[in-house]
């Protein structure tokens, strides 16, 4: 019995000719499109690396976040509500279990009034704030 590859609800099936009427024909060109996405992901990673080279995360980021939050008299939940983020995520940053990416660090800097990402060349000058 001859089989045909079709797509039904986003899933590829190998079905008989009679059943293939219930799906759309599967085109191997979609595999080529998936291969094109990989080089784009590599380019994006290279851009992120370029940003990370200009600035580095302060080694004592966890202590800075905790001290700033406590100075404001906020609990994890209150700060999370204020920032529209999960309290559990904030706890992980404070314990050092997770490192904030540049976007989240900028958000923390804005809400807490601290400096987490500093210039790679002059990291000593920026920590004194």
Domain count for the chain, please give it: 2
* Residue at 9 is within a domain: yes
Q: What angle do CA 88, 79, 74 make, to 5 degrees?
A: 110
Residues 64 and 105 in one domain: yes
What pLDDT is recorded for position 88?
93
What pLDDT is recorded for position 50?
47
* Residue at 33 is within a domain: no
Contact 111, 79 (CB under 8 A): yes
pTM of structure: 0.51
Please name which of 62, 74, 68, 50 lies closest in space to residue 100, comparing C-alpha atoms: 62
Instruction: Give the three-state DSSP class for 23.
Output: coil
Q: Which domain holds residue 7?
A: 1-27
* Residue at 88 is within a domain: yes
* Residue at 99 is within a domain: yes
| pLDDT tens readout for residues 73-106 | 999 999 889 989 899 999 998 888 888 888 888 8
Which segments of the chain have a pLDDT < 70? 29-54, 120-129
* Residue at 117 is within a domain: no
Contact 66, 94 (CB under 8 A): yes
Contact 83, 93 (CB under 8 A): no
* Residue at 90 is within a domain: yes
Residues 22 and 64 in one domain: no
Residues 64 and 23 in one domain: no
């Amino acid at each position: 019995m001859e089989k045909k590859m079709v797509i039904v609800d986003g899933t590829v099936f190998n079905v008989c000719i009679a059943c293939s009427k219930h799906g759309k024909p599967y085109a191997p060109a979609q595999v080529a499109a998936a291969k094109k996405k990989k080089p784009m992901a590599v380019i994006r990673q290279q851009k992120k690396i370029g940003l990370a080279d200009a600035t580095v995360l302060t080694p004592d980021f966890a202590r800075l976040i905790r001290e700033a939050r406590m100075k404001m008299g906020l609990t994890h939940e209150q700060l999370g509500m204020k920032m529209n983020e999960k309290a559990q995520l904030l706890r992980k940053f404070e314990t050092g279990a997770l490192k904030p990416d540049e976007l989240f660090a900028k958000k923390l800097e804005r809400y807490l009034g601290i400096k987490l990402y500093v210039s790679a060349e002059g990291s000593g000058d920026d920590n004194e704030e």
